[in-house]
Structure 1
Amino acid sequence: MSITDWPADERPREKLLAQGAGSLSDAELLAIFLRVGIAGKSAVDLARELLIHFGSLQSLFQANLGDFDAISGIGAAKYAQMQAVLEMSRRALAEQLKQKASFANPSAVRDFLRLRLRGIAHEEFHALYLDSGYCLIHAEALFKGTINETRIYPRELARQALAHNAAAIIVAHNHPSGSSEPSSADILLTRQLQHGLELLEIKLLDHFIVAAHQIVSLAELGHL
């Protein structure tokens, strides 16, 4: 049965308009994104199969183009649309951080870092440059590495901080291995960055580690 044959209050789009997006299941939200199904399957049926295939929305968002091409009815166009949705979410969160004191809202920082870093197969080191009110000036991926290592150059971080006239910095990197436990190298790097930035009168507010299921703050762990 086509979704158009369903009772109006059960159709995902009409349900969203009447009750809000929070009332929809993952499959219903994904069905709205897909818009149409394939022969013999409604958009909701296809959405459910995708969630079963990938295991979760998070895993679906982390899928690459090859993963999409391997599924009947889903291809490059849908992959491009999903990447656009994710990038819009990242930019919306960046705007939110620019409009308010970012460090006063650590959950927003975590959400932003989760979108930027989770699911990347190699290690990346990101910097968030903040003004004196701890509002976001600019965010960038500063260094990229292999599957388990990246080389961090404190001098380059300091140079970029001065270029953006930052008063404070939040740094973050991902652990593709899935472990959120900071290594001794992570702790040593954090202290080196903190001491180096202090000489420039720039405060290192936090260093986050983004893993598969957790984001750890080294400041909360007492390393800053």
Structure 2
Amino acid sequence: MSRRLLALVAATAALAGCSAGGDAPEGLSEPATTASASAPAGATDEPTPSDDPDTSPAPQDEPRPSPTFTQPFLPPDEQSVIDLPAELVIEPPDDATDDERAVLVAAGRFMASWDAILFGAGDEQSDIFATSVEPQLGRLLNYLVESVSKQRVIVGEPTVIELRSVSVTAETAEVDICTVMRHWVQYTGGTPEPQPEVERLLLTMTRDGDGWRASDTAQADPEPCA
């Protein structure tokens, strides 16, 4: 499905608690502790076997789970395991200001969340609550719930982003980007449908405390992206 159709989905705040994916395991264990006993009366400083220092390795945290994700709703012969990057790179211009660079980092994180939703991840796995606000947040949550009911998922390479322009004011910013989505195929109920490879998006970013989150998106003429 084109991002054009996604941007038309109505915001539904009540859907914010829904998720297509399960919670990611934390993968950390509590460090082991040992109790020490007081030395008996009259003990000397001479070491005994029980006084030997413990040379066993210190307890280690278990490794975090791999950041891979098995996509849902695909036919058995099309199973796909992918990475879910935290950010899609948007290269800033050489003369970009600090504010513009911060906006582009936030926009790249939002685009990674959007890709994750399209690839079948849930609200927590996609980190969409941390990267967007209404009305864009509601649209993506609505799309997520609809994707579960339709068994809809996209496969393909992560979006490659080319910046056209960025402008920042006190509370909002506008980011004009070309998006390249190579080999994208949408499966709905197991039926594949190839997707457009190039689109152009206008992102509206809204200042949120010391950072930025995506609040709106709109499609624009993709001709400059060709």
Give the strand-richer structure, 1 or 2: 2
Say which structure, 1 or 2, has more relative contact order (CA 8 Å, 6+ apart): 2
Give the helix-richer structure, 1 or 2: 1
Please confirm whether the aligned pair reaches a TM-score higher than 0.5, indicating the same fold.
Answer: no
Q: Which has the larger radius of gyration?
A: 2
What interval of TM-score do these two structures reach, taking the shorter chain for normalisation? under 0.3
